[in-house]
Amino acid sequence: MNIAVFCGSAKGKTPAYEKMAQDLAGLLKRNNFGLVYGGASVGVMGALANTCLENKVPVIGVIPQSLVDWEVAHKGLDDLIVVDTMHKRKEIMYLRSSAFVVLPGGFGTLDECFEILTWSQLKLHSKPVFILNQNGFYDFLRDHINRAHQEGFISAQHVELLQFRNNLDELENSLKALK
């Protein structure tokens, strides 16, 4: 079973973000999950992939040609799939995984999360989408979703599509339940 992880191509301001990715790699290893991710060698993505590879976790990277041209593609993966567009990247990541985990990141991470979430809302899939909200990084997002629900823009059933987990133990229990 593969888990798709959306996360930043930047490191963030503190080592805590890379540590979170490294800890997630350990979770994947303990539970015999493979990794599907954005294919970059930099930032939180690079930390995640490198730690997975060090721990013999199978790693599939999916990256647009434009980012290969920028020389950020990870060259040591088990499988690197080069695609034409960001949309195709998300499609391949979706097809190759059984669940999604969102770590800290920026616009690209949020884009990936929301496109997969929208597909779920439209009943194009029923794969779970988890936010690792360690240290409250995504509190703002939970607040926004709750506000959008209160204002009538997101139904109660759709609020539940994005599952917040406050720490790695909670996330691990949720992923283990999928097996």
Helix H or strand E encompassing 123: none
**What is the 3-class SS of 140-161, one letter each residue?**
HHHHHHHHHHHCCCCCHHHHCC
pLDDT tens, position by position, 116-142: 999 999 999 999 999 999 999 999 999
Token pair belonging to 117: 């979430």
**pTM of the full structure:** 0.96
Q: Is 86 exposed, middle or buried (0-12, 13-18, 19+ CB in 10 A)?
A: middle
Average pLDDT over residues 77-88: 97
The CA-atom distances, in angstroms, between 107 and each of 42, 47, 54, 111, 113 are 16, 19, 28, 6, 10
Cα separation, 122 vs 1, whole angstroms = 24
Task: Using the predicted structure, report yes or no on whether residue 95 has a pLDDT greater than 90.
Answer: yes
The CA-atom distances, in angstroms, between 61 and each of 58, 67, 106, 177 are 10, 12, 19, 25
Task: Using the predicted structure, report yes or no on whether residue 77 has a pLDDT greater than 90.
Answer: yes
φ and ψ of 55, to 5 deg: -100, 15
Largest CA distance in the chain: 47
Decide: 65 and 84 in contact? Cβ < 8 Å: yes
pLDDT given at position 155: 96
Decide: 143 and 179 in contact? Cβ < 8 Å: no
CATH topology of domain 2-172: Rossmann fold (3.40.50)
pLDDT given at position 179: 86
Q: Per-domain residue ranges for the chain?
A: 2-172
